[in-house]
Chains A and B, each alone.
Chain A
Amino acid sequence: MDFDLMFTSFPKLLGATVVTLKLLSASLFFGLIIGLLFAILRLNKNILINKFAYGYSYLFRGTPLLVQIFIIYFGLGQIEYLRSTFLWVILKEPYWCAIIAFTLNTGAYTSEILRSAFQTIKPGIIEAGKSLGISNKIIFYKIQIPIAIRQSLPAYGNEIILMMKGTSLASTVTLMDLTGVAKYIISTTFKPIEVFIVAGGIYLFMTFIIHNVIKFLEKKYSFNS
């Protein structure tokens, strides 16, 4: 065991954790918006819209995240037309490419989580709202969404942890996130176990915090209290 290396690599890895957290928070934020949008589309009665939303989630859940990042980072740059538009400012940066890929990926999973949450809401609750003369819009915003958020918390917590692990793939498109820096240190020092313990420890610590925050929220928003 090389404890010196563990001590010297810790600050470097901690600095890289900031990149990981930035990637995670940005993709979760945009992913939640996309997920909510597609969950609503999934519940639409129009078959075409419904199928479109299903196709999106199937496509992104059926392929590895790595493929998605590579298509966006290496693939899209190949289209000449895209290079001339303002989109190129975003797409030439690996940072934004990674965020786009993560957003679309987590959006697909989130849409499934929210859809099943919406579907488990008892029809009686909505009917009760209707019989009180509440408009459909307010039923949706004030009744369905709060219940759906509560229902989907445990599954969404898992999704956050999965996404945090997913951000490690950003290192494959030259971003120096926690895994990227860990790999760099491993390949220069050839001490994989020490670096794994430190980097893995940081990841576990983040998992631990996310897990407990979700647990706290679950308790706070549970129906019984």
Chain B
Amino acid sequence: MELLAFGKTGWGDELFYATLMTIAVSITAMFVGFFFALIFTPLKLSKFKSLNLIGNFYTTVIRGVPELLVIYLFFFGGSGAIMYVASIFGYFEYIEINAFITGSVAIGIISGAYSTEVFRGAIQSIDKGQFEAAKVLGINKFTQFYKIILPQMLRLAIPNLSNVWQITLKDTSLISVTGLVEIMRQSYIAAGSTRDPLFFYCFAAILYLMLTYISMKIINRLEIKYSRGY
């Protein structure tokens, strides 16, 4: 147990901060994912074939390629791409992107592909009559989406979004390869310096189980809240 002590003698505080880092990366990645879903869901639902193609390309590629490969692309290619863009504007210094941003964006793009599919499914399963009724009543597009479609959509989307959240949470373990100190990386460091990998990796597993368990409980509450009246 002394291995988990807080302070200088144990790894307790390090692992605690690493857990916070995992949560922070997961939440950031989830929001980055929502941002991408916001762009690509309308593309996938669009009437134009070419826009559909772009949306399908995004979700197919991301869901068909391993997460680790996407992370390597961002890890090795991220700063190169930013520097290339900067060089167009006449800035030639070396730019290093922080591991947190690279990680969240990489995981966010992955989670965005799953979120896009969830939102697409949710919107498509709303009765057509709802759109038509809103149109007939002369409600403008924004209010129609915000007040009529979104509340109904959320009810359908939350159970699936909870799956996306679980996937995202578990995917954050992969960005340990980029050196960001989250649960997995911290356990790796601790295991290396104490030569007790079994204990630390099992502890990491317990931390992940705890995170998935707590988030399940919270999501269940949200689900109840958004399915009032059904």
B223 within 8 A of A: no
Classify chain B's interface size: 35 or more
CB of B74, distance to nearest CB on chain A (Å):
8
Q: Please tell me if B191 contacts chain A, counting CB pairs below 8 Å.
A: yes
B61 engages A200 (CB within 8 Å): yes
Q: In whole angstroms, what is the CA distance A63 to B183 when docked? A: 12
Chain B residues closer than 8 Å to A196, beta-carbon distance: 69, 72-73, 77
The residues of B that contact A68 with a CB separation of less than 8 Å are: 205
B107 to chain A, nearest CB (A): 12
Closest to B170 in A: A64
Interface segment, A118-126, A135-143, A181-189? A181-189
Partner of A67, one of B60, B66, B205, B213: B205
Assess whether B76 is in contact with A192, with CB atoms less than 8 Å apart: yes
Task: Check B209–A62 contact: CB distance below 8 A.
Answer: yes
Chain A 141-174 near chain B by CB (<8 Å), digits 1 or 0? 0000000000000000000010011111101100
CB–CB B66/A165 < 8 A: yes
Q: State which of A76, A190, A193 has its C-beta within 8 Å of the C-beta of B73.
A: A193
**In the complex the two chains form, is A183's CB within 8 Å of B72's CB?**
yes
Which residues on the B side are within 8 Å of A74 (C-beta)? Answer: 191, 197-198, 201
A204, B65: Cβ atoms closer than 8 Å: yes
Name B62's closest neighbour in chain A (CB-CB): A200
Q: Give the nearest-CB partner of B74 in chain A.
A: A192
Instruction: Report A-chain residues with C-beta under 8 Å of the C-beta of B174.
Output: 64, 66, 169
How far is B208's CA from A179's CA once the two chains are assembled, in angstroms? 25
Q: Which residues of A contact B171 (CB under 8 A)?
A: 64
Quick check: A67 and B173 within 8 Å, CB to CB?
yes
Closest B residue to A205 using CB positions: B64
Residue A212 at the chain B interface, CB threshold 8 Å: no
Contact B191 A204 (CB under 8 A): no
Within 153-203 of B, Cβ neighbours of A (below 8 Å) are at 166, 170-171, 173-174, 176-177, 184, 187-188, 191, 195-198, 201-202
> Taking the complex as formed, is A79 at the interface, i.e. its CB lies under 8 A from any CB of chain B?
yes
Shortest Cβ gap from A155 to chain B (Å): 13
Q: Are B80 and A67 in contact (CB under 8 A)?
A: no
Contact at B73–A64, with CB atoms within 8 Å? no
Best-surrounded residue of A63, A65, A165, A190 (most CB of chain B within 10 A): A63
Contact (Cβ within 8 A) A66 B184: yes
Q: Which 5 A-B pairs have the closest CB atoms?
A: A168-B66, A192-B77, A75-B198, A64-B173, A207-B64
Residues of chain A touching chain B, judged by Cβ–Cβ distance below 8 Å, are 58-59, 62-68, 70-71, 74-76, 78-79, 161, 164-169, 171-172, 179, 182-183, 186-187, 190, 192-193, 196, 199-200, 203-204, 207-208
12 contacts between A and B (CB under 8 A): A63-B208, A63-B209, A64-B173, A67-B201, A70-B187, A70-B188, A161-B64, A168-B69, A179-B72, A192-B76, A192-B77, A203-B69
